[in-house]
Amino acid sequence: MDTALDTYLDKLWHTLFSKGVPGLVSPDEIRRRGQPHRQVRAAELREVARVQRELAALVEGRLQLTAAGRLSEAVDDTALNAVRLNPVIEQRGGDWRVAPLDAAAMLSQAGLAESVREVRRALTLRHIAVLAEEEGRRLPRERLQQTVVDPDWLARWQDAAAGCVSIELKRLWARLLAGEVLRPGTYSVRTLEFLRLVSRRDLEMVSLCARFAFDGFIYRQPGRYFSATLHQPLFETLEELGLLRGVYGRPETWLLASATGDRFRAILPCQHRAIFIERGAGQDDLRFPVYRLTRFGREVLSLFPVEADTAYLLAVAGEFKKQGCEVQLGDWMHEGGQGLFAERLSL
């Protein structure tokens, strides 16, 4: 039994569904039943999908809500009326007449539309909660804090996340919640608002630039790798969004200190890859040109667990070779709260 995982899943569930809020079966209840957690969640997602299909059929007029509060197949005239939700203009004997409005029917329809909207939002939150559990399995749970998530932050998250439709956005909102449950205060309200307002095109650009991000910076001008017509506009957009510094105005640099005292040694992680740098004893720390990530930028880019760009890493490694460094490329893994470097290529 993974006690740390159970503790995390309990906290995540209580963050969203405690205090009488209907939602997923609690992890504690699943354990008491002796059921496999993921299979229970898969069954709940199938129920979410079934209800979503029924809601779609209700909106399209293929189902109707009876006076007893049950869904049944709509008769032909009901289906026809469902298609004509708005006032129409009808022609009778060559005379165009506006169909009369029925205030009671419109109020009833508005109430139904609002109910459908709220049920869809509730289903979306359940779906995202399952995705957040899966994201939590990949987090360093030894860093779990028992501090509760700020209620105002959570209210903003729920309001924004419940309205998303695409699975890509749902996964982003799930990662955001998973990280905040682990360590409350990890993500600012500004990051919430960014996800709520950002366009799909800008998200694609952020995802692409995340492939170049080391811990705090993007290496500026690694040889001839970056294109003035392709990459430069991306970096300019990120600075305009508040994620980067050093694209416009005064150039930024990064000072890299040695991790040991006998020789200069340092590791630069980039997603699940890393560059290991080594050179002789007594040599100064390394300074190199960068686009510096803002704190806000670090928060946003941490939501994109993409693969590092290998060609970019080779170009960066080549720049360090020019400064007389011995350079290795390898994999970067987290285990027990520590980073582990596994060499794959020596340059």
Full 3-state SS string of 109-176:
HHHHHHHHHHHHHHHHHHHHHHHHHHHHCCCCHHHCCCCCCCHHHHHHHHHHHCCCCCHHHHHHHHHH
Q: Which two tokens stand for residue 274?
A: 């890393």
pLDDT at 145: 94
pLDDT at 327: 94
Average of per-residue pLDDT across 39-61: 93
Q: Which two tokens stand for residue 31?
A: 């354990």
Q: Identify the band that residue 206 occupies on the pLDDT scale cut at 50, 70 and 90.
A: very high
**Gap between the Cα atoms of 60 and 62, Å rounded:** 6
Pick the residue with more confidence: 70 or 20? 70
* CA-based max dimension of the chain: 99
The 10 Å CB-count burial string (b at 16+, else e) for 1-21 is eeeebbebbebbbbbbbeeee
pLDDT of 249 higher than 70: yes
Q: How many other CB atoms are found less than 10 A from the CB of residue 208?
A: 16
pLDDT at 73: 87
Asked if 137 and 80 count as a contact pair (C-beta separation under 8 A), the reply is no
Task: Give me the torsion for CA of 301, 306, 310, 314, rounded to 10°.
Answer: 20
Handedness of CA 176, 181, 182, 184 (dihedral sign): positive
Asked if 246 and 238 count as a contact pair (C-beta separation under 8 A), the reply is no
Q: Which two tokens stand for residue 211?
A: 């492939």
Secondary structure letter of residue 284 according to DSSP:
P
**Gap between the Cα atoms of 136 and 258, Å rounded:** 33
CA distances from 190 to 29, 178, 245, 275, 333 (A): 35, 17, 17, 32, 29
Q: What is the reported pTM? A: 0.85
**Gap between the Cα atoms of 341 and 330, Å rounded:** 6
pLDDT at 79: 46
**Gap between the Cα atoms of 211 and 313, Å rounded:** 10
- Give the residue among 150, 149, 161, 238 at the shortest CA–CA distance from 196: 161
pLDDT tens per residue across span 53-77: 999 998 888 888 887 878 888 876 5
pLDDT at 284: 73
pLDDT at 96: 62
pLDDT at 336: 59
Secondary structure letter of residue 67 according to DSSP:
T
Q: Which helix (H) or strand (E) holds 240?
A: helix 231-240
Q: Which two tokens stand for residue 343?
A: 């060499």
pLDDT tens per residue across span 154-175: 999 999 999 999 999 999 999 9
